[in-house]
Homo-oligomer: A and B are copies of this chain.
């Protein structure tokens, strides 16, 4: 049975919009891996994989929304459990095109990204006090911010001779700071500050994913393509 998208269903519209936006982004980034020079292929591919996995999420989310009229946030956490670690590593390899950051940092970023999402998930399910889960999530996010601003990643970026890398990293950092802040904000509003209607909350989440997954990927491709063009 086909569920018709109603013209007044703005939430359903944004689910569709994000679905096609993610597919387009994934394909562009996958094609882009063929245009950029060797060392840029990995960060571009990782961002493309994130967009592709997000497309799978939005495919399902759109269907659930159109048939059930709701979209439990738990689906998003499962998606993020894979995509957020990949994005953090995309940042690591982005800076890795300038100089190799320490291997220990690779593992720390990976583990912290997983714990950040997992803690919140366990809070949701009741394996952990929700507020504790929230606090662990905040600490993880602040740790990642610390690494990109004041840690080794920020340091390599500052010393980098390439203006393109610096501009790209500036914008990626802004995404991690402002774009990512939307999620704990949504969680806070939804849990502590009392109910906001689920459709509205979904629109905000979708906007956040647009910034954090689509723009994030395009910034990486932009820097990669520009650097690759001057390299020849």
Contact = CB atoms under 8 A, between A and B. Distances in A.
A65 to B, nearest CB: 10
A38 B28 CA distance: 15
A20 B68 contact: no
Contact of A7 (B10, B24, B125): B125
A177 to B, nearest CB: 22
Contact of A35 (B41, B53, B125): B41
Nearest to A54: B20
B72 A8 contact: no
A13 B78 contact: yes
B2 A24 contact: no
B229 A38 contact: yes
A63 interface: yes
B4 A72 contact: yes
A49 B28 CA distance: 7
A2 B74 contact: no
A109 interface: no
Nearest to A16: B78
A111 to B, nearest CB: 15
A36 to B, nearest CB: 11
Nearest to A46: B28
Contact of A5 (B16, B38, B75): B75
A81 B229 CA distance: 31
A153 interface: no
Contacts of A13: 74, 78
Interface in A16-34: 16-17, 20-21, 23-24, 27-28, 30-34
A142 interface: no
A200 interface: no
B4 A64 contact: yes
9 contacts: A2-B68, A5-B75, A7-B125, A13-B78, A23-B53, A27-B30, A28-B46, A30-B31, A35-B38
Given A5-B72, A20-B82, 17 more contacts: A4-B68, A4-B70, A4-B72, A5-B78, A7-B74, A13-B74, A13-B78, A16-B78, A17-B81, A20-B79, A21-B82, A27-B49, A28-B46, A30-B31, A31-B41, A38-B229, A42-B225
